[in-house]
Structure 1
Amino acid sequence: MHLAQLLRRPVVGGDGEVVGRLADVIVRLRGRDYPLVTGLVARVGGREVFLPAEQVADLDGEKITLASPRVDLRHFERREGEVLLRADVLGHRVIDVADAELVRAYDIALEQRLDQWVLTCLDTRRPPRWRGLRRGRAAQPDWRDWKSFEPLIGHARSARVRGPFARLGRLKPADLADLLEDANRTESHEILQTVHADPELEADVFEELEPESQTRLLGERSDAEIAQVLGRMRADDAADAINDLPQSRRQPVLDALPAGQRTKVLTLMGFNPSSAGGLMALDVLSMVGSSTVAEALRSAGEARALQSQALTSVYVVGEERRLLGVVTLVELLQADPAARLDEVADRDPVRAGPDTDVEDVALLMTDYNLLTVPVVDDEDRILGVITVDDVLETVIPDDWRRREPAPHPAHHVEEPGPERAPHDRPPGS
């Protein structure tokens, strides 16, 4: 049965008398199982009343037949965990998890299994009365499994029964950021509520947002709430986010940051945001030249506080952290474990000063095929490292970012696996 066909059908009592018309269908979300129809909402004499599923004798005819002529005429009130298909889903946008985009539900399919009705599919193709004809034929419905989607119900008590991650936990932070940028205020609020259950994922998502969206969404939070998010972000991204806040909010947010993160952010805010100093990450894996290859590999494996993009190389330093050389992880893996770092390192590494323009850094990376570039001061003391993803984010033109994404592969939805593990990234890394 399709919901669009069911709505406004007459509801007939056991004695054959029409008691009202169908106004909505109520389901209960059940995690991995299909939502279960638990009742109907009927409009009877100007008021909406509840009809339990057990009272419905026949749903798939031209009229909806009740097993009894008796109807409880008390006004319907939604209970915790209940979802109204017409009010909450039909005509509203849902998240297409496979394609990581917001699509609209134009119809809903209900199917009887054993003695119960369940919600099984959504139609996300605009019907012909809105879309028009294509090559002389009406556009065909696009019925897809309910498990391909994540609903945005907009009802707090219903959201709680869906669990902390549901199907959104299968999306990458960049996908979630794209969804937030396309979402309206209500939709973005619900997506953020879900993401907020995993603070590390929340920080990753905010790192991926465009500056305008990031500032808008952070601006709706208190200073303490902003600091909680920025405290888990990479220090360079946190510094950019604070610079984009209104002047009156910057200092309160800085004061609310954890001490270690605040020190890093203040250091980075002292540089031009579009310079090497403004882009660099402050945490660098550096070791003295007398360390062995085996020790360097072990240190890289244990450096969980460093962002993975900055762990492509180990920097050899001398007194006062003066840069003496660099060796990539691939070179370490292929070297004798007992060899010293100063024996296998490049003793004349490419480097940049903190005031170097990002375009010049991009040229260095291109010319020398580098994934990272160390940033040093006038005395060659290492200050930080720039990663290629940060450079690309800065130099790619804005209009390129707004291009239509490449088409996704054909839909393939697997049954959800075990609940996703929280991100294993320490705060401020």
Structure 2
Amino acid sequence: MGRDLYLAELLRRPLLGKDGETVGRLSDVIVRLRGRNYPLVTGLVARLGGREVFLPGEQVASWEAGGITLASRRVNLGGFERREGEVLLRADVLGHRVIDVPAAEFVRAYDLVLERTPEGLVVTGLNTHRPRRLTRLLGGGGEHDRGDWRDWKSFEPLIGHARSAPVRRVFGRLGRLKPADIADLLEEASRTESHEILQTVHSDPELEADVFEELEPDSQIRLLRERSDAEIAKVIARMRADDATDAVNELPQARRQPVLDALPARQRVKVLTLMGFNPSSAGGLMALDVLTAAPGSTAAEVLREAGGSRALQPEVLTTVYLTGEGDRLTGAVALVDLLQADPAARLEQLADADPVRVVPDTDIEDVALLMTDYNLLTVPVVDDEDRILGVITVDDVLEVIIPSDWRRRGHAPRPPGRPERESPASP
């Protein structure tokens, strides 16, 4: 099929007529996004006679080094207008930042490789290494070290074109990233980049809420403030109650009540409850949903209940708390102990009858020390009558006590992922 083509080289080539005369210059290359397939070149944007026009891909007879030869003298001089799902490789990708999905970081696209296939030219690779000698077209030309090139499918371009966004969103690669990775990207992104990332994430409400939970408070509020009260409430409604409370507390005073009023009743009650405690205390940090059981329950019964507790965060499910008369705390048993026990064993036979607990005004530092001393993953919060109010998980404690300067450190390098290379014609 011939050798590969490189975008930075193509952009320097003249457009030639059938007789070899120069009729214009290549301005851009148009590709159509095709979900999980490689983007297909569908046409060119050419500068002819001082104006930019569209040339369909089938009008190109050859892509030789001396110039791009057209198959016909007839050219439609109507102005170019981008259609849905189209991407302009020079305007949208070359020289712009894209997301390296396996590494979960921004990189810059310095060149693109196009391969000849039976169906036409397709974009299969991207180079993120700055070329040795920059030209006015951001590099290109000369040597092409194949070690510098990586599969197009390893990257998520941020195009910024509204009409093509739905096509990118459906098959977007951001869904492979963990919420914390996406949050890190948002904190580094420009306003335009963050807007596009959030548009993609917005199509998955659960992922969107998880991402907002992972954002630093300043970034979280900056991005939430750009939304209406109703839109903020939709995000906060899916967040864990403690994270939702923090988000509401960070909002400007004038916006807190409208957002609270827009929350579903169940979430609003949880948030208002937590707002009554000092944010730096055990009460302000606890989750309100707890897995509890009666002392006479069997291991099999509690395991079935835990398996069906979709609404509880996984961290809470590590421990089951026993409650007796008046909902008072009477014991605790780790879920792993239930898995290893006789299914017919009763909880009161397996539980620690005097579990560690704290009261709502306990300092977070004291909670952290207790969890360290007793090797705990969760700690229940009780009132003066020993009734469970909520539970604190180790990840929440770590989030609070980790020094702020640690958060500004560079991220640890991620291990290399498995290569995603496929043949250009593969779906």
1:334 aligns with 2:340: yes
**Please, which of 258, 271, 282 is the counterpart of residue 252 of structure 1?**
258
Kept in 2: contact 1:226–1:253 (CA 8 A): yes
**Please, which of 113, 123, 130 is the counterpart of residue 109 of structure 1?**
113
1:14 aligns with 2:32: no
CA offset at residue 338 of structure 1?
Answer: 1.9
Kept in 1: contact 2:282–2:358 (CA 8 A): yes
- Alignment partner, residue 97 of structure 2: 93
Judged with a 3 Å threshold, the aligned counterparts in structure 2 of structure 1 residues 243 and 126 are, in CA distance, closer, same or farther, namely: same
**Distance in 2, Cα, partners of 1:105 & 1:411:** 20
Kept in 1: contact 2:321–2:333 (CA 8 A): yes
Deviations 1:318-377 (A, max 9, x none): 122111110111111222222221221101100011001111100000000000000001
Deviations 1:175-204 (A, max 9, x none): 111111111111111111111111111111
- Alignment partner, residue 176 of structure 1: 182
1:153 aligns with 2:167: no
Judged with a 3 Å threshold, the aligned counterparts in structure 2 of structure 1 residues 415 and 224 are, in CA distance, closer, same or farther, namely: farther
Q: Size of the alignment, in residue pairs?
A: 411
**Distance in 2, Cα, partners of 1:164 & 1:415:** 21
**Please, which of 30, 36, 49 is the counterpart of residue 32 of structure 1?**
36
Letter in 1 for 2:271: V
Q: Mapping of 1:205-224 within 5 angstroms?
A: 205-224=211-230
SS at match of 2:64: coil
- Alignment partner, residue 421 of structure 1: none
Deviations 1:87-126 (A, max 9, x none): 0000111111110111110111111112511111111012
Judged with a 3 Å threshold, the aligned counterparts in structure 2 of structure 1 residues 304 and 415 are, in CA distance, closer, same or farther, namely: farther
CA offset at residue 166 of structure 1?
Answer: 2.1
**Distance in 2, Cα, partners of 1:206 & 1:259:** 21
- Alignment partner, residue 407 of structure 1: 413
**Distance in 2, Cα, partners of 1:288 & 1:86:** 65
- Alignment partner, residue 61 of structure 1: 65
SS at match of 1:29: strand
1:289 aligns with 2:295: yes
SS at match of 2:175: helix
**Please, which of 85, 98, 120 is the counterpart of residue 124 of structure 2?**
120
Kept in 2: contact 1:289–1:341 (CA 8 A): yes
Structure 1: 5+ residue stretches without partners = 132-136, 417-429
1:305 aligns with 2:339: no
**Distance in 2, Cα, partners of 1:148 & 1:282:** 40
- Alignment partner, residue 50 of structure 2: 46
CA offset at residue 8 of structure 1?
Answer: 3.5
Letter in 2 for 1:114: P
**Distance in 2, Cα, partners of 1:213 & 1:71:** 50
Structural RMSD (CA): 1.8
**Distance in 2, Cα, partners of 1:121 & 1:333:** 48
SS at match of 2:288: coil
CA offset at residue 303 of structure 1?
Answer: 1.2
CA offset at residue 389 of structure 1?
Answer: 0.3
1:4 aligns with 2:8: yes
Kept in 2: contact 1:21–1:43 (CA 8 A): yes
Deviations 1:210-256 (A, max 9, x none): 11111011111000000000001100000000001111111100000
Structure 2: 5+ residue stretches without partners = 136-142, 423-427
- Alignment partner, residue 387 of structure 2: 381
CA offset at residue 410 of structure 1?
Answer: 2.7
- Alignment partner, residue 320 of structure 1: 326
CA offset at residue 76 of structure 1?
Answer: 1.2
Kept in 2: contact 1:13–1:70 (CA 8 A): no
**Please, which of 231, 241, 248 is the counterpart of residue 235 of structure 1?**
241
Kept in 2: contact 1:147–1:413 (CA 8 A): no
CA offset at residue 60 of structure 1?
Answer: 3.0
CA offset at residue 162 of structure 1?
Answer: 2.4
Deviations 1:376-427 (A, max 9, x none): 01111110000000000000011111111222223523379xxxxxxxxxxx
**Distance in 2, Cα, partners of 1:227 & 1:338:** 44
Following TM superposition, the consecutive aligned residue runs of length 4 or more in structure 1 with deviations greater than 6 angstroms are 137-141
TM-score, normalisation: structure 1: 0.92
**Distance in 1, Cα, partners of 2:243 & 2:64:** 55
**Percentage of identical aligned residues:** 74
Letter in 2 for 1:156: A
**Distance in 2, Cα, partners of 1:325 & 1:23:** 72
Judged with a 3 Å threshold, the aligned counterparts in structure 2 of structure 1 residues 384 and 411 are, in CA distance, closer, same or farther, namely: closer
SS at match of 1:128: coil
Letter in 1 for 2:348: D
Kept in 1: contact 2:99–2:157 (CA 8 A): yes
